[in-house]
Amino acid sequence: MNNQIAIGVDIGGSHITSAAVDLKNLVIIPETTFSMKVDNKAEKDIILKKWSEAINKTILSAPLKQHTDIGFAIPGPFNYKNGIALFEGDNDKYESLHNVSIPEELSKYLISEKTNFRFLNDATSFAVGVSAQGKAKNCAKIIAVTLGTGFGSAFIKNGIPLVNHPQVPKDGCLWDKPFKEGIGDAYFSTRWCIKRYHEISTKSIQGVKEIAEENTPHSKLLFEEFGSNMGHFMIPFLQKYQPELIVMGGNISKAGNLFIPALKQVIMGAKLTVDIEISTLMEDAAIIGSAKLFNSNFWNNIQDDLYNF
């Protein structure tokens, strides 16, 4: 049994990516990464078989067939303590997995003789992964945000996500915190960008990448508004937590050069100082973060808070 290697799995809305991670150095082992497209509207067994295809390829490439530790970066709603999916109609994905025990059901399709499973929110996994690499590795306190289909976030102190802490908001997340006429998730997501761009320009655009490529006064206005909104939203949390660094990931972050200047301007106007970085790890960060669940020190620090992730 090799307890220095664990598999990290990133579950997206339309894909799965699996890779083996060297737990000592927190890096992905070359030639162990495999991805599969997944129909999130498919029946339970079809989804689980597709997940197992990617994971089994990683198991064989590692090799970890006798004993496999698998950490999952997976979006909510999810019972992370027990590995039970809680997706329902409002989530518009993986509804056939509702109330399914992933350890029990997925094990049927895996080639490992013995398998251990652990689960972590995908945004938290990203945050844990980026905190172990690059500039964030040398920062005691960071905030990580993922900007895409939804608005994910985590507050990290010395590599550990905080959920019950006087300096961080309830549950250690930002998506559900009030902002303007709604909550953060309503303003810092792909759907807001598409809706707002249509309001500004009357044009219907498929995604944020296409808006960025427009390079028009309307697209520039949208990103300036996005960055300014994010600055005003973040200020009270930055004042309370005083992070050294904000690390961003997700598809919208790829347009960071278009909205970060407005974000920085608002933050500086509040007389706050914090570095902002776009993660180059992207999906790899979530894989590393989920695999780290099998680092014993890390696990001992977070397992009691799993109900809150």
CATH number at residue 234: 3.30.420.40
Angle between helices 283-291 and 122-131 (to 10 degrees): 90
Q: Is residue 309 very low, low, confident or very high in pLDDT (cuts 50, 70, 90)?
A: low
Asked if residue 48 and residue 153 are part of one domain, the reply reads: no
Residues 167 and 81 in one domain: no
Domain range spanning residue 149?
A: 134-280
| Strand 27-28 versus strand 15-22 pairing type | antiparallel
pLDDT (tens digit per residue) in 257-294: 999 999 999 999 999 999 999 998 878 999 999 999 99
Q: Give the integer Cα–Cα distance in Å for 147 and 132.
A: 20
Query: Above 60 in pLDDT, residue 2?
Result: no
The answer as to whether 40 is a domain residue is yes
Co-location of 142 and 265 in the same domain: yes
Do the domain assignments include residue 129?
A: no
Number of structural domains (the chain) is 2
Tell me the whole-structure pTM to 2 decimals. 0.90
Look at residue 178 and tell me whether its pLDDT is greater than 90. Answer: yes
The pair of structure tokens assigned to 112 is 């490992």
Do 49 and 159 lie in one domain? The reply is no
Both 94 and 118 in one domain: the answer is: yes
Backbone angles phi, psi at 100, to 5 degrees: -90, 135
> Considering the domain boundaries, does residue 127 fall inside one?
no
Residue 3 has a pLDDT of 66
Quick: pLDDT tens for 122-140.
Answer: 999 999 999 988 788 889 9
Separation CA 94–CA 109 (nearest Å) = 18
Asked whether residue 285 is assigned to any structural domain, the reply reads: no
Whether 105 maps to a domain, the answer reads: yes
Q: Indicate whether 152 belongs to any domain.
A: yes
The verdict on 143 and 265 lying in the same domain is yes
**Pair (271, 299) in one structural domain:** no
In a shared domain, residues 56 and 98: yes
Same domain, 141 and 114: no
The letter for the amino acid at 110 is: L
- Indicate whether 71 and 117 sit together in one domain: yes
